Amino acid sequence: MAAGQVSRFLPPTTHLWLGSADPDFLDLARREIAAADPEAVFQPLPEAPGLVRVCSQRSFADLAQAWQANPPIFLRHICPIHQERQLDEISLLRLDQNLLAAIDPALSFSVQTRRFGKLNVKPFQVNAALAEQVMATVGSPLQVKDPQQVISVVLLASSTGLRAWLGLSLAAQNLSTWAGGVHRFRRDPDQISRAEFKLLEAIQVFRVPLQPGGRALDLGAAPGGWSRILRLHGQQVTAVDPAELDERLRHDAGICHHRLSAQAYLARCPGQFHLILNDMRMDGRASAHLMAAFAPHLEPQGAAVMTLKLPHQHRLRVLRQTLDILGSAFPVVRARHLFHNRSEITLYLQKGIPAPHSSTT
């Protein structure tokens, strides 16, 4: 949009929307929604695991604004409902005139389609058909990656027929720029472990600062997936783990491997680091105490990323206790259940300006 130009993005106010989370954490996502709007009414969608239809007292735009400032942990993606249709044929799916009129022709757009149930149509086919309608009618530029405005489409096939929900929002309102918060990466032939995807997603979601030549500490590094990603981002890596690293990393001069436990390495009074990572499999509270002990070795403007393994029971209690432990050493604490997390969440820690951490209500 040109400087001084007034946005024409004016979607109708709606109190209907769809929320997405990992199916195993949908109950906690619903608690986050209820904390933000106690009057919210939920419609379960058993045919669509991880998806819930919400009718809230607060508008979608109001909730989205609040969550932009203080993102929820378990609610991964939200999108408004402006059209709700029962369809006989998917070919009949079109954007109505009110929704087309709300699209800003000066802002880039993308169509993001998800489907649930048995459907012969592919998401990209729906995306292409609706994108063509927008470009022909409104003239907005199509930009699949990092669009400014998003048309969200959810298709649900069930015993009662085919249902479609459509909505228009700014990409920033949806909590994630990926459809449903499903953040996918292409597999690198040199990939060492699937854990690499967790770090790649965390770097994007939290905008982790990675200055060229920065000093990074990778605790529990073996087999070395996170260390490899750090090297690809130009970091000088200190890898700490009693186990061996993948043989492809052993001759990398940018990786110094200490075959010690994290506790033993800490006792040696390590130096200062711009970034500290921790993906160790241990009790979350013990891991938090360890990170707090390493905090003095983080540069003043440094950052840390750690995964927190949550037990099947008392998940919120463990999470609150962990955040309390970390809060004493790291004023800035953000937590998100990323797409590549399983029974864990990812925490982003900074020693910068204090800010409230994500809600754990």
Predicted pLDDT at 179: 93
- Please give the Cα distance from 337 to 344 (Å, whole number): 7
Predicted pLDDT at 82: 97
CB 248 within 8 A of CB 231: no
Specify the residue for token string 């669509």: 48
Of 118, 145, 198, 309, the active-site residue reads: 309
Instruction: Report domain 195-350's class.
Output: alpha beta
Give the residue range(s) of CATH 3.30.2130.30 domains in the chain.
16-181
- Please give the Cα distance from 54 to 33 (Å, whole number): 9
Taking only the tens of pLDDT, the chain with its 361 residues reads 544 454 677 788 999 999 999 999 999 999 999 999 999 999 989 999 999 999 999 999 999 999 999 999 999 999 999 999 998 888 889 999 999 999 999 999 999 999 999 988 899 999 999 999 999 999 999 999 999 999 999 999 988 889 999 999 999 999 999 999 998 888 888 889 989 999 999 999 999 999 899 999 999 999 999 999 999 999 999 999 999 999 999 899 999 999 999 999 999 978 999 999 999 999 999 999 999 999 999 999 999 999 999 988 889 999 999 999 999 899 888 999 999 998 899 999 998 654 444 555 5
CB 83 within 8 A of CB 16: no
Predicted pLDDT at 185: 83
Q: Which of 215, 227, 262 is nearest to 242 (CA)?
A: 262
CB 204 within 8 A of CB 180: no
Give the residue range(s) of CATH 3.40.50.150 domains in the chain.
195-350
Predicted pLDDT at 312: 84
Residue 84 backbone dihedrals phi, psi, to 5 degrees: -135, 120
Active site residue 309: yes
- Please give the Cα distance from 176 to 350 (Å, whole number): 22
- Look up the CATH architecture of domain 16-181: 2-Layer Sandwich (3.30)
Predicted pLDDT at 332: 82
- Please give the Cα distance from 229 to 119 (Å, whole number): 37
Predicted pLDDT at 8: 73
Give me 195's structure tokens.
């854990």
Give me 70's structure tokens.
């203080």
Q: In a 3-state reduction of DSSP, which class is residue 340?
A: coil
Q: Strand 41-44: give its sheet, edge to edge.
A: 41-44, 51-55, 16-20, 77-80
Model pTM above 0.85: yes
Predicted pLDDT at 127: 96
The amino acid at residue 8 is R
Q: Helices 60-69 and 26-36: crossing angle, nearest 10°?
A: 100
Residue 138 backbone dihedrals phi, psi, to 5 degrees: -105, -40
Q: Is the dihedral of CA 174, 180, 181, 183 positive or negative?
A: negative
Q: Helices 284-294 and 315-327: crossing angle, nearest 10°?
A: 10
Residue 115's Cα: distance from chain center in Å? 20
